[in-house]
Chains A and B, each alone.
Chain A
């Protein structure tokens, strides 16, 4: 498949959007794990 500039841009945008979304979710997940540790400690 020919990779046009438009397809390349769409792919990079998806990568970056996923990166930001997942990192935010992981930070929240980690914070909830840490808070559970404090409660159970």
Chain B
């Protein structure tokens, strides 16, 4: 993955984002003192294009919907991801974990809202792996030359383990 520009992220993000040299996570703190970390983990090729799984965690698993600056900061990181890379963004959440349901719903909404159809393709699927239910989604830029192959690859992958 090409490195993301912190300058460009911070030019847009309402909260100051830093990258931990030790972990490579994108970190920020909210005005209420809640610490967030965002991860981008390399996964596998989809349609000839590398995919990265995004992870979002906060220090005490608060809901966070009350603070629009959190969403805006995460969006600034996503925009920079796509600006610097022609890759696939992947999100996975555990649908069998009731405790995380509200948080998951919120993040899915943020990613859906981010992926405006004029600019991005958004595909999602529900799967069952070893008895556990998962919701997954990918976001790809419409200008990605591998777009159709990526969507086809993801659809086939999801279909094999669909609910």
Chain A residues packing against B (C-beta within 8 Å): 1, 3-5, 7-9, 11-16, 18-19, 22-23, 25-27, 29-31, 33-34, 37
Could you pull out 9 A-B pairs where Cβ atoms are within 8 angstroms?
A: A3-B153, A8-B158, A9-B160, A9-B161, A11-B157, A22-B53, A22-B55, A26-B25, A26-B37
- Among A19, A31, A33, the residue within 8 A (CB) of B53 is A19
Cβ-defined contact, A15 with B57, below 8 A: no
Complex contact A15–B136 (CB within 8 A): yes
Q: Are A30 and B57 in contact (CB under 8 A)?
A: yes
Distance to closest chain B CB from A18 (angstroms): 5
Q: Please indicate the chain B residues that have their CB under 8 angstroms from the CB of A26 in the complex.
A: 23, 25, 37, 39, 55, 57
Whether the Cβ atoms of A33 and B59 lie closer than 8 Å is: yes
Q: Which of B23, B127, B156 contacts A12 (CB 8 A)?
A: B127
Give every chain B residue within 8 A of A3 (Cβ-Cβ).
153, 156-157, 160
Of residues 16 through 48 on chain B, the ones whose CB sits less than 8 Å from some CB of chain A are 20, 23, 25, 27, 33, 35, 37, 39, 41, 43-44
Contacts of B58 in A (CB 8 A): 30
Please indicate which of the listed interface residues A3, A8, A15, A34 has the most CB atoms of chain B within 10 Å of its own CB.
A15
